[in-house]
Amino acid sequence: MTRRTSPFARFWKRHFILSRLISFLLVLLGVSFLTFVVSSLAPSDGAEMYYLSRGITPSPQLLEETREQMGLNQPLLVQYLHWLQNLLRGDLGESYNFGESVLRQLTRKLPNTLALAGAAFLLTALLSLPLGALAAVRRGKVSDLLIRAISFVGVSVPNFWLALLLLYFLAVQLGLFPVIGTGVLKSMALPVLTLALPLSCSYVRQIRTAFLEEMGKDYYIGLKARGIPGWRIFFSHLLSGALSPIVTLAGMSVGSLLGGAAIVETIFGWPGLGSMVVDAIRVRDYPVIQGYVLWMAVIYLLAGLVTDLVCCLLDPRQRQKGFWRRNVRKEGAK
Amino acid sequence: MSGRNILFYDQVTVRYRGRTEPAAYKLTLPVPEKAVTAIVGESGSGKSTLLRLAMGLLPTGGEQAEGRVLFNGEEISTFSKKRLREIRGGEMAMVFQDPGACFDPRRKLGMQFVESYKAHRAGGKREALDAAGGILSGLGFSDPGDLFRRYSFELSGGQLQRAALGMAMMMKPKLLLCDEPTSALDPVVQAEVAGYLKDLHQKAGTALLLVTHNLGLAAALGDYIAVMEKGHLIEYGPTEQIIHSPQEGYTKRLIESVWEV
């Protein structure tokens, strides 16, 4: 028996990639609207902030004129469409605080955040993949218990505290690293460690679980019964099976890392997106906040999209049906 | 049929952590060369445990508490990891109840045949596929090349179980362990797979140790039948003798239940 489905639903099911792209754009539109509406609900408006941030207390008449100038008296929807139009041209408005274009400010801070996020992510992968796999393979042995105990502690340590500990021991006591930035690589070490250590600890646990789940499947015993060497079972079978939960995990962290780590960036005085938005929030610099929220939305959605695509490619059932189409069909062998 | 035993369980006791009753208790069972030995009994009677024990692949928490298992006269528990790996799949192969268990769903079947071959023989892809193709064409696959390009999820249960048989027999093992090889299949396919099993055994002279709750299958294939109940071997003998003049009440009930069906 087949259930009746609308042509639309069928299209949605089959054209996996296309449907993901369309929903990506729709969600983005929704996020932009929400961002705009929420920041326009705030008690102080743009005109007021514009003057206050320059140390001027504006007269009511001046405020009214500026509101007229900035289009703040128009209906909300008109304002939104106007804002959206500018957005599509790449104009995110001007920072009240610095008078600089928001896009310029974002692109200026972005490389710093990218460097920090990239390094932290790489270090996390290098630490957690081998350790997680080792813990799974040596389940119940001393090495497994040790790795799990350390990672448990690591997960529980708050970011800012770890940052301060690292600063105190590695920078102040031992003098290995500068407390505050001199030279790119050296000053990056501590923030990268602060970000990567707790992340690695939670990764180790989840990677261990992913491998154990793979080892619990029937085919694992089958491979052993066939006399396949252990290293081959690991690299050629377990790894590809454990990869999709790991990719999903990584996709989520990429989002949060690329948003800039506000606390860590602030503690180490790292000029990235995180510390930028903390400053912007402090002075109610709405255009900057809006720009940041949009960026976060784009990054999270993109990471999700890429994760889905990669997982889809990792699954032979999906791969075989072609990259663009999703088709549920079963064929027999001759 | 007299001769050497390819596998011999000598006073074996197996326990699982957290369970008071042993899965096998002081069990002695010979598995003669070039013959079919069938172990019958209800599920949970410890049949599968015996096979996993012979493979050195007891489920987690399982432990051999007493006795020896001899493969070709040598005690399995004294084998090094390397020797154990060589024996598994090479001299002693196994077929599982779930026909999908043999294959990784993420790899094409051809690659998995090659992998198995290379684990035991010094040869390339060509030799591996030739060896696999030879066995598979005897198992009802008219075009093994087509099979090699497929994933396990594309095959039916019967096809997969035949492919698993091919995989197990490719290395011409001395002993094939079958854990309920037909019970996950529908009746027509069951008969087909049973036929192939018999065929393989007769052609290659491989000894079979067959675990099943299906007394009909055991009677059709087995030279010897062993009856297990709750970890104990309660009756053992040539098939004729067990079927026609069972001594134990449990065996009689098993036989009667077949006729009822």
> Average pLDDT for residues B170-187, to the nearest whole number?
90
CB contact under 8 A, A227 and B146: no
CB contact under 8 A, A229 and B90: no
B154 touches chain A (CB under 8 A): yes
Q: What is the mean pLDDT of chain B?
A: 89
Nearest CA in chain B to A313: B106
Quick one: pLDDT at residue B165? 92
Residue A181 clears pLDDT 80, i.e. is over it: no
DSSP A166-193: HIIIIIIIS--S-SS-SSHHHHHHHHHH
How many C-beta atoms lie closer than 10 Å to residue B84's C-beta?
A: 18
Element (H, E) at A69: helix A60-70
All domains of chain A in start order, with CATH: 14-88 (no CATH), 109-320 (1.10.3720.10)
Say yes or no: ipTM exceeds 0.90.
Answer: no
Q: Is A237 exposed, middle or buried (0-12, 13-18, 19+ CB in 10 A)?
A: buried
Q: Which of A215, A219, A311, A331 to mutate to test the interface with B (most CBs of B within 10 A)?
A: A219
Quick one: pLDDT at residue A328? 40
Q: Give the residue from B254, B221, B226 showing the smallest Cα distance to B241.
A: B226
- Proportion of chain A above pLDDT 90, given as a percent: 21
Please give the single-letter amino acid code of residue B128: A
A227 touches chain B (CB under 8 A): yes
Instruction: Answer positive or negative: Cα dihedral of B73, B77, B79, B83.
Output: positive
Residues B223-235: pLDDT tens digits? 999 999 888 999 9
A282 touches chain B (CB under 8 A): no
> Average pLDDT for residues B55-78, to the nearest whole number?
89
> Average pLDDT for residues B169-189, to the nearest whole number?
89
What pLDDT band is residue B97 in, cutting at 50, 70 and 90? Answer: confident
Domain boundaries, chain B: 5-260
What pLDDT band is residue B259 in, cutting at 50, 70 and 90? Answer: low
Quick one: pLDDT at residue A322? 56
- Proportion of chain A above pLDDT 70, given as a percent: 90
Question: Number of Cβ pairs closer than 8 Å across A and B?
Answer: 92
Which residues, 6 or more positions from A130, have their beta carbon under 8 angstroms from its beta carbon? Answer: none
- Residues of chain A contacting B88 with CB distance shorter than 8 Å: 224-227
- Residues of chain A contacting B51 with CB distance shorter than 8 Å: none
DSSP letter, residue B88: B
Q: Rounded distance, CA A138 to CA A146, Å?
A: 11
Q: Quick one: CATH architecture of B5-260?
A: 3-Layer(aba) Sandwich (3.40)
Residue A1 clears pLDDT 50, i.e. is over it: no
**SS3 for B73?**
coil
How many C-beta atoms lie closer than 10 Å to residue A26's C-beta?
A: 10
Distances (CA, A) of B34 to A130, B7, B51: 46, 11, 17
Nearest CA in chain B to A219: B101
Distance (Å) from the C-alpha of residue A314 to the closest C-alpha of chain B?
8
Quick one: pLDDT at residue A329? 41
> Average pLDDT for residues A157-185, to the nearest whole number?
78
A88 touches chain B (CB under 8 A): no
> Average pLDDT for residues B79-102, to the nearest whole number?
90
What pLDDT band is residue A186 in, cutting at 50, 70 and 90? Answer: confident
For B150-188, give one letter per residue: b (16+ CB within 10 A) or e. bbbebbebbbbbbbbbbbbbbbebbbbbbbbbbebbeee
What pLDDT band is residue A333 in, cutting at 50, 70 and 90? Answer: very low
CB contact under 8 A, B119 and A219: no
Distance (Å) from the C-alpha of residue B177 to the closest C-alpha of chain A?
10
Residue A180 clears pLDDT 70, i.e. is over it: no
Mean pLDDT is lowest, of A5-14, A208-217, B126-135, B157-166, for A5-14
Residue A145 clears pLDDT 90, i.e. is over it: yes
Measure CB to CB from residue B116 to each of A226, A314, A332 and give the nearest one: A226
What pLDDT band is residue A331 in, cutting at 50, 70 and 90? Answer: very low
Nearest CA in chain B to A232: B115
Strands (E), B17-145: 24-32, 36-40, 62-71, 74-75, 92-95
